Structure 1
């Protein structure tokens, strides 16, 4: 009846990997992808801001996590933005130009025939009726199964907001989730959207619940999973001391638009930033740190030189740790 509950995403993540490594229910191979699977998994994160894991055995790609949620917020489905951060996603595009299932942005934020969006309707509903049980966003569509060869079917089915006693909770239902890779980015994205919704509604941040019918790890990642599980067993994994940054309570679509405009310039390498120029954008520090992170990736992608130590020093401490451990060979001498 009550879900397994965790204080941090790192605790949630390692717990799921332990369960799959030690007590998986099935070995399956849908479309030839062999994996170990547990079913009907429900997990709760008490503090959705604690959406990152800090594991030396599996350095999270924080740049992709941020870029993916910005891609959603932009309402885009094109590969031009997201494949810059994750080229492998091109393999899931039927036409080489866009993604359908993976691209949740148009489903949430693209205007439909009446000029409104799923997101706007749900936000309006919550403002009118705080006790509603109808604040549901849907992702999976029946047409996605029309083509048996479709390489990109939505993993997420729905997301439901509950506004209770001034706290905005979010529950996401997924048909399947890759516990080693997808769980990391999905929880990051959905909790980010939850926090943005709370800001729009003037609500406090509630808990986040993640329900997955098929939680699995592909055999190709099994050795990586075992490395994390073994490290946890022998006490090599400790909880990071970073305090999760809080999104400004006045976070707005104008903030998102400013960040997206900078993202496009940095991706095209038509602009560059340093801490002073980012400050001059007039954004709150929370959004400044996101732009700084995108600038770090611009340097990683468009140059072979080490990332600027001045820039690294200005990153949010949690972001800096992740960048340093994800791309150690590109860090300036003496950084780590």
Structure 2
């Protein structure tokens, strides 16, 4: 009897490597609607590089955490995507999916015989999406011994704009899931049933800095829902410009250093949005991890203080 050959997925350490490879493809020759699948062995290393728009790390965290916060206000998306992308409607029914995500965590945590927990995409109203269907088909968590793997299936994605955000959102949810149930982080697999390069094409060539991006830090094992809610309180206040935040202000915070970094990214966004004429505070930038500083320097080159402005030209 003939055996069915099983395709081997390409495995990459980081999504950055995937995006570099995607930039080198001739998408006109491949045609629109081709399927794309890959696996990440280090899902926490989730930043791509800019094919069309500079990557704003604050926007990435805001949209990824927005899923876990059940936040789907289009005004919040517009606040973070100004100057980068036109505001897009959320591609999930956040409240329903957040409930199913929490249920999936409970199944993985409490039932040792549960090996698979699927969070299917729910239908969203035309008012919420402007008549568009959600891109996400399903997010699947898989228990493998003492690790949690994750697989995501997306209906359609623009390689330049949508794929990086989809991967960031789903890998952050995956990493949180592993931390929440007390297991190690496994591999992440991403399937796009119909990938394409939009009309904007690739607007910037590969540069040396694109090929040598610093790695992201990993989420601490102490992360809980309370952690995310506390980060959400900071984000809400900073977005409303209710207060400003310095590294010293977070010194006595209950947040781990990883999450303090995220709050400082939201502080950078506050300065960009509410103090448009002033450079970004050098002390805030200096307290950030190199990967975040590098991305911000490319995202907001005209807002870098003199001491750090050289980064934007690398």
1:1-336 to 2 correspondences below 5 Å: 1-21=7-27, 23-25=29-31, 37-54=32-49, 59-87=54-82, 92=88, 99=89, 102-109=91-98, 117-141=99-123, 150-219=130-199, 221-224=200-203, 227-228=204-205, 231=206, 237-240=210-213, 242-303=214-275, 304-335=277-308, 336=310
Q: How far did 1:257 drift?
A: 1.0
Q: Over aligned residues, Cα RMSD in angstroms?
A: 2.5
| Secondary structure, aligned partner of 1:51 | coil
Task: From the superposition, tell whether residues 187 and 20 of structure 1 become closer, same or farther in structure 2 (CA, over 3 Å).
Answer: farther
| Secondary structure, aligned partner of 2:201 | helix
Structure 1 CA distance, aligned partners of 2:112 and 2:28?
42
Structure 1 CA distance, aligned partners of 2:248 and 2:197?
43
Q: Check conservation: 1:168, 1:204, Cα contact below 8 A.
A: yes
Structure 1 CA distance, aligned partners of 2:49 and 2:194?
25
Q: How far did 1:105 drift?
A: 2.5
Task: From the superposition, tell whether residues 199 and 158 of structure 1 become closer, same or farther in structure 2 (CA, over 3 Å).
Answer: same
Task: From the superposition, tell whether residues 20 and 56 of structure 1 become closer, same or farther in structure 2 (CA, over 3 Å).
Answer: closer
Task: From the superposition, tell whether residues 313 and 252 of structure 1 become closer, same or farther in structure 2 (CA, over 3 Å).
Answer: same
Q: How far did 1:131 drift?
A: 4.8
Structure 2 CA distance, aligned partners of 1:3 and 1:51?
18
Structure 1 gaps, min length 5: 26-36, 93-98, 110-116
Q: Check conservation: 1:9, 1:50, Cα contact below 8 A.
A: yes
Number of residue pairs the alignment of both structures matches:
300
Structure 2 CA distance, aligned partners of 1:91 and 1:259?
23
Q: Check conservation: 1:75, 1:106, Cα contact below 8 A.
A: yes
Task: From the superposition, tell whether residues 270 and 106 of structure 1 become closer, same or farther in structure 2 (CA, over 3 Å).
Answer: same
Comparing 77-86 with 156-165, greater Cα deviation is found at 77-86
Q: How far did 1:133 drift?
A: 4.8
Structure 1 CA distance, aligned partners of 2:247 and 2:51?
27
TM-score scaled by structure 1?
Answer: 0.82
